[in-house]
Amino acid sequence: MNAPWNPSHYLQFADDRSRPFLDLVARIQGEPRSIVDLGCGPGHLTAVLRARWPDASVHGVDSSAEMIERANAENHDAGATYEVADVSGWAPEGEVDAIVSNALFQWVPDQLAVIERLSSYVAPGGTFALQVPFNYAGPSHTLLHEISSRGPYASHTEDLHADRGTAPEAYLELFSRLGWEADVWETTYLHVLHGDDPVFAWISSTGARPIIQALPEGLREEFVDDYKAALREAYPKTEHGTVFRFERVFAVARQAE
C-alpha cells in the first residue's frame, strides 16, 4: 500500500530532520556542478545544497506527488527542478557530479543493488552521499510492531513489519568493492521534542505511516491511542522536553578521477 505523504506533517520537525542532511553535506568534497537529490521531499533542503554550491544545478526526485507538488509550489530556485519517480527504476539522463539522499534508501527494496546501479551515473571524481535511519531497535519501532501485531490490528499489518535497517558495514563494503573511497559513520542524535505525544507526532509522519494508513477507520484510532500510551511510557516527558534518541548511518563515497 502506498499511503500518501503529508508534507506539512513531515515538516513539523523540519529543523531536527534537516540536521543529518547538514552533517552529510558537510563531508562532501569538491565542487559538483550537477547534483541529484534522491528522496527530496518538499524541496526544503534544496537551499542547503544551493548555499554550499551556488552554481550547481539541483534535480530533486521523490515518489510522492504531494511532496513534489509542494516543492514546485514553494521553491522558486531557477537552478532547481523536481520530478515524481520511483528511485528503484529511475536513472538520470546522463552523468552527474553528485548524488545525495536524505532518509530515502530504507524505503527502497534491494537498496544496495539500486545504489550500485545509480553509482554508475556518477562522473569520475564525483560523490554518492546518503543518510538513513538506524533506530529500528528503539522503542519507537519495537512498540510500533509489537502493538500492531496484536489481535484486531494484525490482519491489516502482517506485511508491514520488515526491519529496514542496514548496517554501516554494508555501505562500506559496497563502495569499497566498487573501488570508491568511502567515509562511513554512525551518529546518535538526542532530539528534545516538545508538546503532547511528540514522539508519535514525529514517527506517525514517517516510520509508522504505512501501518497507521493500513488500518481501517475506527481501528486506526484505537491503535493510535494504544501506541501513544506506550510511547508516553517509553519516552517520558521531562522538565526540558521529551528526549527522543535517534541513530543514523551516513556514507559519503567518492569515485576516483
Mean pLDDT over residues 199-217, rounded?
A: 90
Which DSSP string corresponds to 177-234? Answer: HTT-EEEEEEEEEEEEE-SSSHHHHHHHTTTTHHHHHHSPTTHHHHHHHHHHHHHHHH
Contact 200, 104 (CB under 8 A): no
Name which of 99, 108, 254, 101 is nearest 179 in CA terms.
254
Contact 191, 241 (CB under 8 A): no
The superfamily (CATH) of domain 7-254 is Vaccinia Virus protein VP39 (3.40.50.150)
**Predicted TM-score (pTM) of this structure:** 0.88
Neighbours of 149 (CB within 10 A): 14
Residue 13 reports pLDDT greater than 70: no
Lowest mean pLDDT among 23-27, 137-141, 203-207, 229-233: 203-207
Domain-by-domain residue ranges, the chain? 7-254
Residue 38 reports pLDDT greater than 70: yes
Residue 3, pLDDT score: 53
Q: What is the pLDDT of residues 52-107, one digit of tens each?
A: 999 999 999 999 999 999 999 998 899 999 999 999 999 999 999 999 999 999 99
Neighbours of 27 (CB within 10 A): 13
Regarding predicted confidence, which is higher, 162 or 83?
83
The whole-angstrom distance between residue 90's C-alpha and the CA centroid of its chain comes to 17
Query: Whole-angstrom Cα distance, residue 206 to residue 208?
Result: 6
24: Cβ contacts below 8 Å, ≥ 6 apart: 100, 102, 129, 130, 131, 250, 252
Residue 212's identity, in one-letter code, is: I
